[in-house]
């Protein structure tokens, strides 16, 4: 369904507020900048900011919904004969090989990570997002495998796949903070992915294989 004018304007306003807030946080720090200052810089009311972003942390971590959905989307989009783990590894390798901003492979990622490191509320919110993503992935795996209620396997498998993603993102963040070139980090990140895949057992690698068409 095509996006209507009202929806497009709301999306654009939300993005503009987030972009302005991010610029202020990068320049002055997350704790120092107030929501009122963000509203003034964006030429909107404080209530408008809160209508789009119920908590201040989401002004900076504005892609939380996409992060929560990411691994579940990879699993649902797996190919015929492909397991959940294989789909996640394939998609992550594609992003790393393509030096994609989705996995933090761009020069500004170092500054982004420093803001998070310096602000406990952002670290806490990031942890919450990761937990929401884990829960969402567990439900996705349960649905994709028709698991019985109470079956612990989807949750155990979700933990393994989340470990791959979180470890990769944390490692890339650490390397980008060292001001390394994205292309160099990309090459090393591919090696890390290979090493993590080698650590996965056969049960994980062969879980939730999509039937051949």
* Digit-coded pLDDT (tens) for 91-132: 999 999 999 999 999 988 889 989 999 999 999 999 999 999
Residue 27 has pLDDT above 90, yes or no: yes
Tokens 């390798």 -> residue? 93
> Mean pLDDT of all residues in the chain?
94
Q: Which of 112, 121, 126 is nearest to 35 (CA)?
A: 121
> What pTM was computed for the model?
0.90
Q: Is the pLDDT of residue 139 over 70?
A: yes
For the chain, percent of residues with pLDDT exceeding 70: 98
- Residue 4 is predicted with a pLDDT of 80
57, pLDDT greater than 70: yes
pLDDT at position 46 over 90: yes
2, pLDDT greater than 80: no
**The pLDDT value given to residue 213:** 67
Query: Which among 28, 24, 58 is positioned nearest to 41, based on CA atoms?
Result: 24
What is the C-alpha R_g of the chain?
19
pLDDT tens profile 155-205:
999 999 999 999 999 999 999 989 899 999 999 999 999 999 999 999 999
């Amino acid at each position: 369904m095509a996006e209507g004018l009202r929806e497009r304007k709301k999306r654009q306003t939300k993005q503009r507020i987030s972009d302005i807030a991010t610029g202020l946080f990068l320049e002055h720090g997350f704790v120092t900048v107030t929501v009122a200052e963000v509203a003034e810089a964006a030429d909107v009311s404080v209530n408008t900011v809160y209508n789009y972003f119920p908590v201040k942390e989401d002004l900076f971590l504005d892609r939380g919904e996409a992060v929560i959905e990411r691994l579940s989307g990879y699993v649902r989009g797996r190919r015929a004969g492909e397991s959940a783990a294989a789909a996640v590894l394939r998609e992550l390798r594609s992003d790393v090989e393509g030096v994609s901003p989705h996995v933090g492979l761009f020069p500004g990622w170092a500054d982004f990570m420093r803001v998070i490191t310096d602000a406990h509320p952002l670290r806490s919110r990031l942890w919450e997002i990761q937990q929401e993503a884990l829960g969402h992935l567990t439900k996705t795996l349960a649905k994709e495998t028709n698991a019985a209620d109470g079956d612990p396997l989807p949750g155990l498998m979700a933990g393994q796949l989340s470990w791959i993603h979180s470890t990769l993102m944390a490692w890339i963040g650490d390397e980008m903070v060292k001001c390394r070139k994205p292309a160099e980090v990309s090459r090393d990140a591919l090696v890390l992915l290979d090493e993590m895949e080698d650590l996965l057992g056969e049960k994980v690698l062969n879980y939730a294989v999509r039937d051949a068409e």
